[in-house]
A = this chain, B = another copy of it.
Amino acid sequence: MELDLGEIRKNIDAIDDQLLELFKQRMGLTRKVAEYKAAHNMVVFQSEREKAIIRSVRDRSPEELKSSAEFLFTNIMDISKCGQNNAITPAVSIPHGTQIKHTPDVAVQGIEGAYGHAAAQKLFPDGRMNFRASFAEVFEAVENGSADYGVIPVENSTAGEVSVNMELLEKHHVFVNRTVTVPCTHVLAAKHGVKEQDIRILFGHEQAIRQCSEYASSRPELTIIPYANNAMAAQMVAENRSSELGCICSRECAEMHGLDIVNPAIAADPNNATRFFCISKETEVYDGADTIAVSVSLPHISGSLYRMLTKFAVNELDLTKIQSKPLPLEFRTEEDEFMFYLEFSGNVGQPVVLRLLNNFQTEYSYFRFHGNFLAVN
């Protein structure tokens, strides 16, 4: 006789009761294992025993359940290990509650009026701005102490990640302490008196040009020339006699260089914004810091990624960003070719966070703690 849905579910519920009971018992026993290991100075992770359990589970499962059963038990063991870690790993402490330095020296790429300048002013209203030619020089200035802080764009809502700065973050010994998001309201600017239809050559940073690509394709007669940055393009247009030149820049930047705004709405996305990192040489964690950034390498992407994420899930820490990337050259080995850049919610004042960071440091061959930061409005 065929069971109806209600009856099948009653049977499932009965099985779930037993599963939960066994799970609780198992967690109690693995806690004992952890205590035993701690008392006898043994490491938590023992891959041989784990492999043997998985082998046996596969052997005892029918073909169509082998991978599901392996997956379930891998999971159960990973949950157990999180419990064991929490029980015995000492929480490393990271200093926090730092004060922002008074009138700090702030390194920014570009020139006055660049979006980076606007971001730095938002972060440091009383900062002494220190303009550098390249992003690498901003990182170097912070690292060698010639600036107290650096302000670096990392992500644009339209154009995506600023890869160069994410790479520089892996290479330099600096930490992220705050982030700020600056709206990028691109305008079309030109010398006083120039009309929109007179403009024949348009300058702007590559990303800005991309964000205004719809406007550009509506005016096929325009020659478009990528420039190192918008503020430099504005300066050049302001200093040039030709009335055929225009540039893409911010409203503030146009005003700063005495240019007219000939078209205030040329960007596809009116909510276009860029996120900046504020970097310092030492870890600085301010009150309210709620996001942590790390990078780790994982040898085999599929299984190991899943198992790494188990640690976040069990500890109820929310991942807010994940990017797989090639590992920086100098750390690449035959086994480790990839890394993951991760951001997650948390504060280094939470023991669960410190234990996770500690566990990452022990378990993965490449591990970088990039900082614990808060978003400034």
- A residues sitting closer than 8 Å to B (CB atoms) are 3-5, 8-9, 11-13, 15-16, 18-20, 22-27, 29-30, 32-33, 36-37, 49, 53, 57, 60-62, 65, 67-69, 71-73, 75-76, 79, 82-83, 134, 136, 157-161, 163-164, 166-167, 206, 210, 213, 217, 225-228, 268-269, 271, 301-303, 305-306, 309-310, 312-326, 329, 340, 344
A226 to chain B, nearest CB (A): 5
| B71:A79 contact, CB within 8 angstroms | yes
| B329:A301 contact, CB within 8 angstroms | no
Q: Which of B8, B37, B67, B344 contacts A315 (CB 8 A)?
A: B67
Closest to A229 in B: B226
| B164:A163 contact, CB within 8 angstroms | no
| A72:B69 contact, CB within 8 angstroms | no
For A4, what are the chain B residues with a Cβ–Cβ distance below 8 Å? 36
Q: Which of B62, B67, B75 contacts A75 (CB 8 A)?
A: B75
A-B contact pairs, 26 of them (CB 8 A): A5-B36, A8-B29, A8-B33, A8-B36, A15-B29, A16-B73, A19-B23, A20-B61, A23-B65, A23-B72, A24-B62, A24-B69, A67-B315, A68-B79, A71-B314, A136-B213, A159-B164, A160-B161, A160-B164, A206-B206, A226-B228, A302-B313, A305-B309, A306-B309, A306-B312, A323-B324
| B22:A18 contact, CB within 8 angstroms | yes
Cα A69 to Cα B309 in complex, Å, equals 16
| B322:A136 contact, CB within 8 angstroms | no
Closest to A315 in B: B67
For A49, what are the chain B residues with a Cβ–Cβ distance below 8 Å? 9
With contacts A76-B19, A134-B213 taken as known, whether A12 is within 8 angstroms of B24 at the C-beta atoms is: no
Cα A65 to Cα B79 in complex, Å, equals 10
Closest to A137 in B: B217
Cα A227 to Cα B82 in complex, Å, equals 51
With contacts A29-B8, A29-B12, A76-B19 taken as known, whether A317 is within 8 angstroms of B302 at the C-beta atoms is: yes
Cα A325 to Cα B302 in complex, Å, equals 20
For A321, what are the chain B residues with a Cβ–Cβ distance below 8 Å? 324
Of A18, A57, A161, A164, the most chain B CB neighbours within 10 A belong to A164
Closest to A214 in B: B136
A191 to chain B, nearest CB (A): 22
Q: Which of B5, B11, B161, B302 contacts A312 (CB 8 A)?
A: B302
| A160:B159 contact, CB within 8 angstroms | no
For A312, what are the chain B residues with a Cβ–Cβ distance below 8 Å? 302, 306
